[in-house]
């Protein structure tokens, strides 16, 4: 069926794959009609998709360093864009983002702006230059540009802190979904998730991860968009929700006015299960100060441009030119999902709070709501709760509580879509969490195997030995992440945001100035990384332990403080010490020109 070079056949291969996946959805919906249980459908969806990823991972196995670290540098722009989008959009984006918008409105939507705007910085400041440099990892760039093992090692430290914070959240998410879909306890589900993740990356490294991420993107985008369009059409809100929900947004505003945001007594709130929240903020009104919004967006943008698992995706393109275009494609594919999340939040909220809709529950009697099938299901899953605080027997807006994940997970069921959609959503969430976890674990393992082991400890190591070390590290880091995830210390979204702040504190300026400021030297970079990371972390600890903070910088935006310290330290120390030597200056000149051989 397929002849010739794999790369030339990519559109065909993934075209067939997409067709196959759609056929699978249809088969499942027929099976549902014929009486297959909801549980079996869920298992089929997760098992089938994970099996496909594992096969792709196996077919991509390699024994070459170039293929293992940078997928042979031959990934075409559009496909690299899809892989980056999957790499980027985590379990949090997929499962929690619409929920965040649903509950917090405008203040939360700073994340949408931040997590997309950062790509402008990636495209203009960094990606093409790092591609020209020809490095395998981000610390490889720092170590070669600035020279010396210490700078290389510091970059590995920052990378590990940021990526590890992030990866535990992703393994946690795969565990959550696997435990729901396969109906096994969370502590075991975490390891099922981990093994699925390792199947994709172990044998093929970056090559395996690239081709599974493309496959995962296709699953996750279908799983996100199909329900949004379907629900919108079913509710009669418009066949293309993105352009047609203005009336619905306005209607939510009216209802909010009518109900008012009644504040619950603290004693009443204590009876609400942990993790659930009520609607307390306006849906489309501006409910945050300009600085609260801008600081969060800014932190996420600079964090985006410092996260190594994203940056290393652009090392895999065939050329500098392709790297730039590929950033554009990445953002386009991300845009498809991010612009749909607010629409889903709108549809979900309106369908619940509008009494004139058949699904609306506000204004109904409490007993009536408690008798609804889907309410009982999600109440049991600990994602929905109602309580008659004022004792009038009717459900008020302030008496209805929901978990953030419910917006994505429960809305299809509330809108009356068949269960096959819920199975599809589970597969999509799994794909989103797995693809991000894979990228992150690989980023950490590659940095340690390439930069610490090969470049610092044993520069004479043969390729075969290096790849063994890389794979062993992959497994070790995966298990470490899963073990911490199994402890369930912190919510999914919080740790994701911290990862951005850590990354920007330590890496943003050393990376950017490495290209854009010739005078930046080794001493400056080391000071920038070390002081940036330390001061950022110290600020976080201070605020977490009751410190008041300053300039409105919170525990979600501590990277702004860390990176400011990093910038000052780097500039001052660089200017106080010797300028980089002629060879380094020449290296920077070389990086700035796309043509010619790569630097390394």
Partner 1 sequence: MSKQEQHWEKTRGLLFMTLAIWFVFSIGIFLFGAEMNEVGGPFGYPLTYWFTCQGSLGIFVILIFWFANRQEKIDEEFGFSERGDD
Residue with tokens 């919004």: 293
In whole angstroms, the minimum distance from the beta carbon of 301 to partner 1 comes to: 6
In whole angstroms, the minimum distance from the beta carbon of 290 to partner 1 comes to: 5
Q: Who's near 174: CB < 8 A, 6+ residues apart?
A: 91, 189, 190, 193, 194, 196, 197, 430, 433, 434, 437
In whole angstroms, the minimum distance from the beta carbon of 127 to partner 1 comes to: 10
Interacting residues toward partner 1 by CB under 8 A: 77, 106, 109-110, 112-114, 116-117, 119-121, 123-125, 128, 242-247, 249-250, 284-286, 288, 290, 293-294, 297-298, 301, 318-322, 324-325, 327-328, 331-332, 335, 338-339, 341-343, 589, 592-595
Name residue 384's beta-bridge partners: 402
The sheet that has 276-277: what strands, in order across it? 276-277, 400-403, 384-386
Question: Cα–Cα distance between 180 and 6 in angstroms, integer?
Answer: 36
Structure tokens belonging to residue 340: 């749909």
Helix axes 205-234, 77-88, angle to 10 degrees: 70
CA 391 to chain centre: 42
Residue 151 or 557: the one with the smaller Cβ distance to partner 1 is: 557
3-state secondary structure 272-291: CCCCEECCCCCCCCCCCCHH
For every residue of 573-597, DSSP letters joined together read: HHHHSPPPPHHHHHHHHHHT-SSS-
Q: Who's near 117: CB < 8 A, 6+ residues apart?
A: 297, 300, 301, 304
Question: Cα–Cα distance between 349 and 254 in angstroms, integer?
Answer: 13
Q: E strands along 138-224, which residues? A: none
In whole angstroms, the minimum distance from the beta carbon of 495 to partner 1 comes to: 24
In whole angstroms, the minimum distance from the beta carbon of 247 to partner 1 comes to: 7
Residue 128 or 205: the one with the smaller Cβ distance to partner 1 is: 128
**Diameter of the chain measured on Cα atoms:** 80
Question: Cα–Cα distance between 251 and 361 in angstroms, integer?
Answer: 16
Residue 41 or 512: the one with the smaller Cβ distance to partner 1 is: 512
552-585 exposure pattern, b = at least 16 Cβ within 10 A, e = fewer: ebebbbbbbbbbbbbbebbbebbeeeeebeeebe
CA 287 to chain centre: 25
Q: Report the half-sphere exposure of 278 (CA within 13 A, side-chain side).
A: 24
Q: Is the dihedral of CA 338, 340, 346, 347 positive or negative?
A: negative
State whether residue 402 is helix, strand or coil.
strand
Residue 57 or 76: the one with the smaller Cβ distance to partner 1 is: 76
In whole angstroms, the minimum distance from the beta carbon of 505 to partner 1 comes to: 20
In whole angstroms, the minimum distance from the beta carbon of 332 to partner 1 comes to: 5
Residue 242 or 364: the one with the smaller Cβ distance to partner 1 is: 242
Residue 293 or 558: the one with the smaller Cβ distance to partner 1 is: 293
In whole angstroms, the minimum distance from the beta carbon of 585 to partner 1 comes to: 12
In whole angstroms, the minimum distance from the beta carbon of 494 to partner 1 comes to: 21
Residue 75 or 194: the one with the smaller Cβ distance to partner 1 is: 75
Q: Are strands 384-386 and 276-277 parallel, antiparallel or unpaired?
A: unpaired
Residue 113 or 277: the one with the smaller Cβ distance to partner 1 is: 113
In whole angstroms, the minimum distance from the beta carbon of 75 to partner 1 comes to: 12
Residue 295 or 436: the one with the smaller Cβ distance to partner 1 is: 295
Residue 289 or 376: the one with the smaller Cβ distance to partner 1 is: 289
Residue 157 or 282: the one with the smaller Cβ distance to partner 1 is: 282
In whole angstroms, the minimum distance from the beta carbon of 385 to partner 1 comes to: 28
């Amino acid at each position: 069926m397929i002849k010739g070079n794999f790369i030339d056949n990519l559109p065909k291969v993934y075209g067939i794959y997409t067709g196959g996946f759609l056929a699978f959805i249809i088969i499942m919906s027929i099976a549902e009609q014929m009486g297959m249980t909801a549980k079996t459908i869920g298992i089929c969806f997760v098992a089938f998709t994970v099996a496909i990823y594992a096969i792709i991972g196996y077919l991509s196995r390699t024994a070459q360093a170039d293929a293992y670290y940078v997928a042979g540098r031959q990934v075409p722009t559009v496909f690299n864009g899809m892989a980056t989008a999957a790499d980027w959009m985590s379990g949090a984006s997929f499962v929690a983002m619409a929920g965040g918008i649903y509950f917090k409105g405008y203040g939360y939507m700073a994340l949408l702006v931040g997590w997309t705007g950062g790509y402008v910085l990636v495209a203009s400041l960094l990606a093409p230059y790092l591609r020209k440099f020809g490095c395998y990892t981000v610390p490889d760039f720092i170590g070669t540009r600035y020279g010396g093992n210490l700078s290389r090692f510091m970059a590995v430290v920052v990378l590990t802190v940021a990526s590890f914070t992030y990866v535990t959240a992703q393994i946690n998410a795969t565990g959550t979904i696997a435990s729901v879909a396969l109906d096994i306890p969370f502590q075991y589900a975490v390891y099922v998730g981990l093994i699925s993740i390792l199947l994709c990356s172990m044998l093929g490294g970056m090559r395996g991860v690239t081709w599974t991420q493309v496959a995962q993107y296709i699953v996750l985008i279908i799983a996100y968009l199909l329900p949004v369009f379907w629900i919108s059409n079913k509710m009669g809100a418009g066949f293309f929700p993105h352009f047609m929900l203005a009336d619905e947004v306005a209607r939510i505003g009216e209802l909010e006015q009518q109900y008012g945001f009644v504040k619950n007594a603290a004693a009443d709130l204590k009876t609400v299960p942990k993790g659930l929240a009520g609607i307390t903020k306006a849906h489309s009104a501006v409910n945050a100060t300009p600085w609260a919004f801008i600081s969060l967006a800014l932190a996420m943008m600079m964090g985006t441009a410092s996260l190594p698992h994203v940056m290393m995706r652009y090392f895999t393109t065939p050329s500098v030119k392709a790297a730039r275009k590929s950033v554009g494609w990445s953002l386009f594919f991300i845009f498809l999902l991010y612009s749909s999340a607010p629409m889903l939040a709108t549809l979900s909220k309106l369908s619940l709070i509008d009494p004139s809709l058949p699904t609306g529950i506000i204004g109904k009697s409490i007993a009536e709501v408690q008798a609804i099938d889907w309410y009982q299901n999600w109440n049991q899953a600990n994602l929905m709760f109602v309580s008659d605080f004022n004792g009038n027997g009717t459900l008020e807006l302030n008496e209805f509580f929901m978990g953030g994940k419910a917006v994505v997970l429960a809305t299809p069921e509330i809108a009356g879509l068949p269960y096959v959609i819920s199975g599809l959503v589970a597969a999509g969430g799994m794909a989103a969490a797995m693809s991000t976890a894979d990228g992150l674990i690989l980023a950490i393992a590659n940095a340690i195997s390439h930069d610490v082991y090969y470049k610092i400890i044993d520069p004479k190591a043969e390729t075969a030995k290096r790849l063994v070390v890389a794979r062993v590290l992959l497994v070790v880091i995966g298990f470490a992440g899963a073990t911490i995830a199994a402890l369930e210390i912190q919510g999914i979204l919080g740790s994701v945001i911290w990862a951005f702040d850590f990354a920007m504190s330590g890496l943003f300026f050393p990376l950017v100035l490495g290209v854009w400021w010739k005078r930046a030297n080794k001493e400056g970079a080391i000071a920038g990384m070390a002081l940036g990371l330390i001061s950022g972390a110290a600020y976080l600890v201070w605020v977490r332990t009751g410190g008041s903070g300053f300039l409105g910088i919170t525990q979600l935006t501590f990277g702004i403080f860390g990176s400011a310290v990093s910038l000052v330290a780097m500039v001052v120390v660089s200017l106080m010490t010797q300028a980089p030597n002629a060879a380094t200056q020449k290296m920077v000149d070389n990086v700035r020109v796309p043509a010619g051989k790569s630097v390394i």
